[in-house]
Structure 1
Amino acid sequence: MRGTDLGRLATAARLTAFPAGRRLATELEPAERFWIIRDGTVALDSRLPGGGSVPIDALGPGAVVGWSWMFPPYRWRFGAVASTPVEAVEFDGRLVRVLCAVDPSLGYELTRRFAEVMADRLRTARTRLLAPSPGTDRSTGPSEHRSVDG
């Protein structure tokens, strides 16, 4: 990323801190910001049908929290909560979208980088959601529901 890009992004950034237990994002709520963790841990989670949630991932220093600010309808795809006290750089997603619209090369670079984050998060979520629960035998898989004919 070019120095001018970093300077522009800095105009949309501020330092922030969250105590342990503070929810940064709630699934399906409006997504207007994102964070880069400087210190601490943030847990990603996903709602379960019928209530409750399932943990998806734990993110530490250097990780990006939030990509939903970048794509319509700008609603969180996962929830996020500070597992420990967190220090982070917070970015105003709306302002970053404007900066990307004004400078397509910045928009391309951020889209490329966030696409990598999205792919990694979705792979982690899929792995977590498909992992067998304790006491569950999934060795038979979906074929157990097939008829004898096929």
Structure 2
Amino acid sequence: MFTTVETLAEQPFLAGLTEHQLSLLAPLTSRSMFHAGNRIFREGTPADQFWLLTSGHVYLDSEVPGYDNFVLEKLRSPAVLGCSWLFPPYRWQFGAVSVDTTHALTFNGPLVRALLQSDPGLGHELTTRFLQVMGDRLQSARRRLADCQRATGHRTNL
């Protein structure tokens, strides 16, 4: 199903982009659905897309020795899923699994990267937004790990 400019304009992550900018992004998107328990991507595998969650929940996890997959954060729609497509080496830094039936808008990473290079204004705007998401995720992961340390009594000295 074709994604419209109006559909993109409803997404909080894209709020404030011009109609022209949204019209450039629209052909690079599709719709996806993930069933509960489906792994969307695995840490370390090639990253070539990102998603805007429109309904549902997704766990971000990491492969940590001693844990099946350590959950770093639970994303609730509306949310951005996937930032690793934007920066080399284009490999997922975390994994993701759907908690329940989740719907999303899927963006083709390589095509979006090409668009961001050809349109510096849009490139700056979206890169800034993704860097904010990445900073928020880092803080969330830090808090989650600190909570785990307190709960288990383990302390790591770096």
Decide: shared fold, TM above 0.5. yes
Q: Percent identity?
A: 44
Are positions 1:134 and 2:147 aligned together?
Answer: no
Are positions 1:99 and 2:115 aligned together?
Answer: yes
Q: Offset of 1:137 from its aligned partner?
A: 6.7
Unaligned runs of 5+ in 1: 143-150
Count of residues in correspondence between the two structures: 140
Q: Offset of 1:103 from its aligned partner?
A: 0.4
Instruction: Return structure 1 stretches of 4+ with deviation > 4 angstroms.
Output: none
Change (3 A) 1:52 1:137: closer
1:115 to 116, 131, 136: 131
Report the counterpart of residue 76 of structure 2 in structure 1. 60
TM-score (norm: length of structure 1): 0.87
More helix as a share of residues: 2
Structure 2 letter corresponding to 1:96: V
2:43 to 11, 15, 27: 27
Structure 2 letter corresponding to 1:48: V
Classify the secondary structure of the residue corresponding to 2:151. Answer: coil
RMSD, aligned CA: 1.6
Question: Whose radius of gyration is greater, 1 or 2?
Answer: 1
Distance 1:117 1:39 in 2: 18
Unaligned runs of 5+ in 2: 1-16
Structure 2 letter corresponding to 1:13: T
Q: Offset of 1:133 from its aligned partner?
A: 4.8
Q: Offset of 1:53 from its aligned partner?
A: 2.1
Any idea what the Cα deviations from partners look like across 1:100-128, whole Å, max 9, x if unmatched? Answer: 01101111001000000000001111111
